[in-house]
Amino acid sequence: MHEERQIKPADFENILNNLDAVVYVADTDTHELLFMNTYALRHIAHADNFSDIAHLPCYAVLQKNQTRPCDFCTNAKLPANGDVLVWEFKNTRSQCWYQCRDRLIEWHDGRLVRLEVATDISERKKAEEALQRAQKELTTLAETDSLTGLYNRRAFFRYVDELIKLRVQTAYFAIILLDIDHFKLINDRFGHEAGDKLLSAIGKALRSLNNKNSVVARTGGEEFTIAVTGASQDALVAVAHQVQALISDITLNYFDATLSCTASVGIATTNTQSPDINQIMRHADHALYRAKAAGRARTEIAT
């Protein structure tokens, strides 16, 4: 028969000290550290021996510049039946992400203490963050007109719905349509590169109108649409005049030429709670047609 082998406490401690994971035990009432393995000592506590930090509170050793129990401390959340609580956080000392597995266990003197085993998941987090950035970039590409940096037509209607839902109940809503006057002549005279540079400058000017109360988009070749909410009809009409002035103020040097343009603007407003976007856009379009018919470089208000 094989001689029975007993595993001694020193063997358990040796196993814990050779794990590539943070392992520590702390008192749930006083937060006093009762045990910390070698991995945690080296990677977080930066101590050579547990005796160097013994009896210190866990938050002072595990976190940077922490002088009181952490806001995210799990002591109050630990299941009384000994089940494991799994959570993730970024350590302020090591700057590494950890997946933590916490549970209540009984210490040798009978008190309940917190046992935490935390594994480094920093590489996984980096991959997740890279994926999120890529997804955000794809969303931006799908929603943004690359030339002007404004929303495209599809994104415009999506965000207009959100704008209407989130507006103050008493707020007015308006659609402002603008068309760059005689833009074809600029392309014909200076070339499409000049036209593109001018459209880019227009996009930059109109982006200054972007805020929580507006949605600005390029909805056609030289056509732009703005949805905006405001306290009154007069305030929204003032925005339309501001838009016309912004376009008129644009000047752009292109080789030996100076490019500039004007815009015809049409605006339609409403204070109904559930406006019909297509109907308001039709009214704004009729107003834009009147602005063009009246000589361009002007703003017309839908009746």
Q: What is the 3-class SS of 33-102, one letter each residue?
A: EEEECHHHHHHHHCCCCHHHCCCCEHHHHHCCCCCCCCCCCCHHHCCCCCCCEEEEEECCCCCCEEEEEE
pLDDT recorded at residue 3: 54
Q: What is the tens place of the pLDDT at every residue in 186-215?
A: 999 999 999 999 999 999 999 999 888 999
**Tokens for 39?**
């991995």
Q: Where are the domains of the chain?
A: 9-124, 144-301
Sorting pLDDT into bands at 50, 70 and 90, what band is 1? very low
Q: What is the tens place of the pLDDT at every residue in 252-282?
A: 999 999 999 999 999 999 998 888 999 999 9
**Tokens for 162?**
């959100």
What is the rounded CA–CA span in Å between residue 227 and residue 287? 15
User: Does position 292 have pLDDT exceeding 90, yes or no?
Assistant: yes
pLDDT recorded at residue 4: 58
- For residue 281, report the phi and psi dihedrals to the nearest 5 degrees: -65, -35
Q: What is the tens place of the pLDDT at every residue in 79-123?
A: 999 999 999 999 999 999 999 999 999 999 999 999 999 999 999
Determine which helix (DSSP H) or strand (DSSP E) holds 185, and give its type and residue range: helix 183-190
Contact 84, 103 (CB under 8 A): yes
Percent of the chain residues past pLDDT 70, beyond the cut: 98
CATH topology of domain 144-301: Alpha-Beta Plaits (3.30.70)
**Tokens for 115?**
């046992």
Q: What is the tens place of the pLDDT at every residue in 212-242?
A: 899 999 999 999 999 999 999 999 999 999 9
Sole residue written with tokens 């595990």: 62
**Does 9-124 match 144-301 in CATH topology?**
no
Contact 251, 267 (CB under 8 A): no
**Tokens for 290?**
């009147």
Could you tell me the CATH superfamily of domain 9-124? Answer: PAS domain (3.30.450.20)
Reported for 100-105, long-range contacts at CB under 8 A and 24+ positions apart, including other chains, are 100/74, 102/74, 102/78, 103/78, 103/79, 104/28, 104/78, 104/79, 104/80, 105/25
With a CB cutoff of 8 Å and minimum separation 6, the contacts of 46 are: 93
Question: CA of 9: how far to CAs of 6, 12, 16, 41, in Å?
Answer: 10, 5, 11, 20
Determine which helix (DSSP H) or strand (DSSP E) holds 140, and give its type and residue range: helix 122-143
Q: Could you tell me which of 269, 268, 264 has the C-alpha nearest to residue 299?
A: 264
Q: Could you tell me which of 157, 150, 176, 163 has the C-alpha nearest to residue 212?
A: 163
User: Does position 298 have pLDDT exceeding 90, yes or no?
Assistant: yes
pLDDT recorded at residue 34: 95
| Active site members | 222
Reported for 220-226, long-range contacts at CB under 8 A and 24+ positions apart, including other chains, are 220/153, 221/183, 222/179, 222/180, 222/183, 223/177, 223/178, 223/179, 223/180, 224/150, 224/177, 224/178, 224/179, 225/156, 225/175, 225/176, 225/177, 225/178, 225/281, 226/175, 226/176, 226/178
